């Protein structure tokens, strides 16, 4: 069952309202392990038996709304974001309770609704078929495997052979990264052909206008390279063609971009020189709730003030009480020294060049060249320090130069360097794989 909601907010507060409950295709998850124990995400949904109030199902996720409310726009105007809760179709009446996490990691109830699967709010009719599902690889029944669905956006009918090639290329790359590589047998991967009229997606700041099936677009929250869809309904209607636990949308475009929100959605543009990196990095956000470990870049959020402990498993505000302390070798100084000033100087130089290129309308390949140069400089610097490759607490993470710490000098959540996920991110991913791949 999919419970469709509207999540509205602005200067006057926040309201979540029920839209409808509909069939969401075959249930992809376990039928015995129904409670979410990952402690990830900004939101937590509990399904309680109406008579006994016993929790029969729970799941965590992060919302686009909770990202938007950190933007400057949210202080001025109200906006509505469609959102949905995917739960097993209940046998009897249930109470669905949605909670959100506060700054101190305490959950508070935000919304609740009583859903009667036989009542007028529930529509069990299967949704009309859209698109065509095909299997990339399959290792077992959906209930005991992690089901990943790849969707395409901005692929015209003539581009479908390219979509198939892009899916194979990017999925192959994902499974060269640990821990996906050694846990490949726990996954099923399927893809959905969903052609649109014309190649490409909406890029408002480039004056490229499209109406595509999933409404994926560049320029989310004013950030030129932030690519997502606001249209959760369209995304869920399409995705329900296949059993899926997680998904990623391939964006048929040569402009650098992507986005990833925990247990909600992820995107990656496929024709840039860094498509493989973006695909894996954004999947890290979506799959394991990993935070960006980078900082000082022009991301879309307003930051500042005191730093509470983030819920994300790979960033901390407290180097003295590390949540990954068991992975730190004895004798590692905390905070861990690294070449912070030279790195920041190098980054500032690259960002100034990048702004110039973007302002002058340079082709995407010029940006790729710049990022390639940055990658060379970054990997050299970050791999040649006394604590390179070790787990510690390196200051500078999650858009903050000070007060937040990342677990390793380098990681795919920090730079575009080769080398993959740091040990803390690997473990976080492994935990989600464990959670979803048990029968």
For binding to Zn ion (CB under 5 A), which residues are involved? 314, 411, 413, 422, 425
* DSSP code of residue 325: G
Residue matched to tokens 């543009």: 269
User: Please, what is the minimum distance in Å from the beta carbon of residue 407 to Zn ion?
Assistant: 6
Closest by Cα among 385, 397, 388 to 312: 397
Give the Cβ contact number of residue 357 at 10 Å.
16
How far is CA 13 from each of CA 9, 77, 243, 260, 295, rounded to the nearest angstrom?
5, 11, 35, 25, 29
Residue closer to Zn ion by CB (options 98, 266) is 266
Q: Select 81 or 405, whichever has its Cβ closest to Zn ion.
A: 405
Between 62 and 314, whose beta carbon lies closer to Zn ion? Answer: 314
Token pair, residue 327, equals 């992975």
Pick 146 or 290: Cβ nearer Zn ion? 290
Nearer to Zn ion, 88 or 430 (CB): 430
Which residue shows structure tokens 């015209």?
A: 156
Asked whether the bond before 179 is cis by omega within 30 degrees of 0, the reply is yes
d(CA 26, CA 32): 16
Q: How far is the CB of 415 from Zn ion (least distance, A)?
A: 10
Partners of 269 in the beta sheet?
Answer: 251
Instruction: Let me know: does 290 contact 312? Beta carbons within 8 Å.
Output: yes
Q: How far is the CB of 409 from Zn ion (least distance, A)?
A: 10
Say if residues 252 and 390 touch (Cβ distance below 8 Å).
no
219 versus 284: smaller Cβ distance to Zn ion:
284
| Closest CB 295 distance from Zn ion, rounded Å | 13
Q: How far is the CB of 293 from Zn ion (least distance, A)?
A: 5
Give least dist CB 340 to Zn ion, A.
17
Structure-token pair, residue 116: 């009667």
Q: For residues 20 and 183, which CB has a smaller minimum distance to Zn ion in the complex?
A: 183
Count the Cβ atoms, other than its own, within 10 Å of residue 51. Answer: 10
Whole-angstrom CA distances from 241 to 22, 35, 86, 200 are: 13, 24, 14, 23
Q: How far is the CB of 174 from Zn ion (least distance, A)?
A: 16
Name the residue whose CB lies closest to Zn ion. Answer: 411
Give the residue with the Cβ less far from Zn ion, 33 or 431.
431
> Which CA distances in Å does 386 have to 81, 248, 329, 336, 346?
46, 37, 13, 10, 19
Listed in sequence order, the DSSP H helices in 304-416 are 340-359, 364-382
Minimum CB–partner distance for residue 83 and Zn ion (Å): 28
């Amino acid at each position: 069952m999919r419970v469709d909601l509207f999540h509205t907010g602005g200067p006057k507060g926040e309201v979540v309202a029920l839209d409808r409950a509909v069939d969401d295709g075959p249930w992809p998850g376990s039928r015995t392990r129904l409670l979410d124990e990952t402690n990830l995400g900004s939101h937590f949904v509990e399904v309680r038996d109406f008579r006994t109030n016993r929790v029969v199902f729970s799941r965590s996720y992060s919302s686009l709304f909770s990202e938007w409310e950190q933007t400057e726009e949210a202080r001025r105007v109200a906006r509505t974001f469609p959102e949905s809760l995917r739960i097993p179709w209940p046998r009897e009446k249930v109470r669905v309770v949605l909670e959100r996490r506060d700054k101190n990691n305490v959950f508070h109830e935000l919304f609740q609704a009583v859903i009667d699967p036989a009542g007028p709010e529930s529509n069990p009719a299967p949704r009309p078929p859209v698109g065509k599902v095909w299997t990339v690889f399959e290792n077992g029944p959906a209930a005991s495997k992690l089901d990943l669905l790849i969707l395409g956006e901005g692929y015209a009918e003539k581009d479908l052979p390219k979509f198939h090639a892009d899916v194979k290329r990017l999925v192959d790359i994902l499974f060269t990264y640990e821990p996906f590589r050694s846990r490949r047998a726990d996954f099923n991967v399927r893809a959905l052909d969903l052609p649109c009229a014309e190649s490409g997606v909406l890029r408002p700041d480039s004056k490229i206008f499209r109406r595509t099936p999933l409404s994926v677009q560049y320029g989310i929250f004013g950030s030129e390279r932030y690519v997502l869809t606001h249209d959760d309904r369209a995304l869920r209607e399409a995705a329900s063609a296949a059993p899926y636990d997680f998904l990623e949308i391939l964006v048929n475009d040569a402009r650098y971009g992507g986005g990833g929100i925990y247990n909600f959605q992820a995107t990656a543009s496929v024709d840039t020189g860094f498509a493989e990196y973006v695909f894996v990095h954004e999947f890290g956000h979506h799959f394991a709730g990993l935070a960006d470990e980078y900082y000082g870049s022009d991301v879309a959020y307003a930051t500042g003030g005191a730093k509470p402990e983030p819920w994300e498993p790979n960033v901390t505000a407290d180097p003295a009480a590390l949540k990954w302390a068991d992975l730190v070798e004895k004798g590692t100084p905390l905070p861990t020294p690294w070449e912070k000033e030279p790195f920041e100087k190098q980054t500032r130089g690259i960002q100034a060049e990048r702004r110039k290129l973007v302002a002058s309308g340079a082709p995407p390949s010029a940006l790729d060249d710049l990022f390639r140069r940055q990658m060379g400089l970054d990997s050299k610097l970050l791999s040649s320090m006394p604590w390179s490759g070790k787990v510690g607490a390196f200051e500078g993470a999650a858009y903050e130069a000070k007060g937040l710490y990342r677990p390793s000098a380098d990681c795919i959540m920090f730079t575009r360097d080769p080398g993959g996920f740091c040990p803390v991110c690997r473990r976080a991913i492994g935990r989600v794989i464990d959670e979803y791949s048990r029968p």
